[in-house]
Structure 1
């Protein structure tokens, strides 16, 4: 989206300075990303409406899991979370001029073809959670090729991370971003509109062991699928 590049370019000098010491300036980089996300979306008439099943205690870290059908999903999560957090995503995002800045500083790149990369990525995520910072993961791992989109199988990683760190899962249903901006919008274009986001009640992991990861994964996927099916998803 050209508006993202525009505001990223405006803030790039500041980000370049902050990137020299990302650990010290973590909070400032998160806020800069929020500003870019909000302004770039507002400029093209895309806004976000959040609805919460229960109040969220943002003083606690979460492993935040959302369905993934659009590049707008990234902005939705950026605008949703008022506390410091990191995305975990595919290593290819390092090559993008915008996402690359954040994945070289505060986010966590993951090469799914490398067990060493995966180990390092989840170790880093655990460290962030230990500091009280949330981690956002799209458990489908990608935007599917189906249109209209469907909910694909979830990967186990986010749920193993949540169990290992004894951190609650925060399921997020992004209802209609695909209708406004499917994937990267190259095929169907984009239009102004309101992205509806529903934040479900946190799913606790206290007392769970790694052998419960599959059950936790399926529980979260079923909750997202059930709520998404009430509106646009199939």
Structure 2
């Protein structure tokens, strides 16, 4: 209902760059309402004070709830790189595509364009969130996929710090399950690690920075909580109890 009622305003704000800051503020309110509506407890852990940005926030990716949860946890005017299919969602997709950065992971041109847009965003003082795995992990909450070099090359080129983020339980609440929407009540956690400076680094240092950040993100995962929750069984038919003996049973006094 809040989305429908405010849609005309959102559409107008998303059409012009000057309105994107206000559009993001609306998206943050929407994210807070969404999380509160489900009654999900969220524990936000900040490992260190966060000086004035901008930053490149690098997070693991495990669930459809990742973006709303990051909008709740990270203050300020944010940009985010999301997959291009998000821009094709009816109504909401147009707003997302106008306000944030979309990328087709299978297109070299699209990936290059997204990095150029992200660099411009950082140079204007707007932090960027990047899922360095490139897509939702095949083993969410348990094992990270290899991080891409792009986020770290970007941070070094612009000279901004990298902030690793770990979300260890999102896949329990709303996992990526093909062909269905599966929701489970699950307390969530966001661990915002200390910023890592990129001052003095060159492009040659990007692989080492990538490995360092991936290790930090992985350190706050909970391997015991890995795996996708099973489908609901509340509608599963229960076989009736047997009321007659099978044909080969031995009956008393037979």
Fold shared, TM-score > 0.5 on shorter chain = yes
* Residue of 2, 6, 15 corresponding to 1:7: 2
Query: Residues of 1 paired with 2:168 and 2:144: CA distance?
Result: 11
Query: Residues of 2 paired with 1:171 and 1:30: CA distance?
Result: 22
Q: How many residues align?
A: 227
Matched, 1:108 2:104: no
Q: How does 1:57-206 map to 2 (within 5 A)?
A: 57=51, 59-97=52-90, 100-146=93-139, 149-183=142-176, 189-206=182-199
Matched, 1:216 2:209: yes
Tell me the alpha carbon deviations over residues 158-177 of structure 1, each in whole angstroms, 9 at most, x when there is no partner. 11111111111111110211
- Per the alignment, in what secondary structure is the counterpart of residue 171 of structure 2? helix
Q: What residue number does 1:3 align with?
A: none
Q: Is the 8 A contact 2:141 2:168 kept in 1?
A: no
Q: Which has the larger radius of gyration?
A: 2
- Per the alignment, in what secondary structure is the counterpart of residue 109 of structure 1? strand
- Per the alignment, in what secondary structure is the counterpart of residue 182 of structure 2? coil
Q: Is the 8 A contact 1:175 1:196 kept in 2?
A: yes
Q: Which shifted more, 118-127 or 65-74?
A: 118-127
Query: Residues of 2 paired with 1:186 and 1:70: CA distance?
Result: 14
Shift of 1:29: 0.4
Matched, 1:53 2:47: yes
Q: Is the 8 A contact 2:141 2:225 kept in 1?
A: no
Distance 1:9 1:200, change over 3 A: same
Shift of 1:143: 1.1
Shift of 1:105: 1.8
Q: Is the 8 A contact 1:45 1:193 kept in 2?
A: no
Matched, 1:17 2:12: yes
Query: Residues of 1 paired with 2:23 and 2:177: CA distance?
Result: 24
Distance 1:30 1:185, change over 3 A: farther
What do you get for the CA RMSD once the two structures are aligned? Answer: 2.2
- What are the ranges of 5 or more consecutive residues in structure 1 without an aligned counterpart? 1-5
Q: Is the 8 A contact 1:7 1:40 kept in 2?
A: no
- Per the alignment, in what secondary structure is the counterpart of residue 69 of structure 2? helix
Tell me the alpha carbon deviations over residues 208-232 of structure 1, each in whole angstroms, 9 at most, x when there is no partner. 1111111111100011111214774
Query: Residues of 1 paired with 2:140 and 2:157: CA distance?
Result: 35
Query: Residues of 2 paired with 1:147 and 1:13: CA distance?
Result: 36
Query: Residues of 1 paired with 2:54 and 2:120: CA distance?
Result: 11
Matched, 1:26 2:20: yes
Q: What residue number does 2:237 align with?
A: none
Shift of 1:192: 3.1
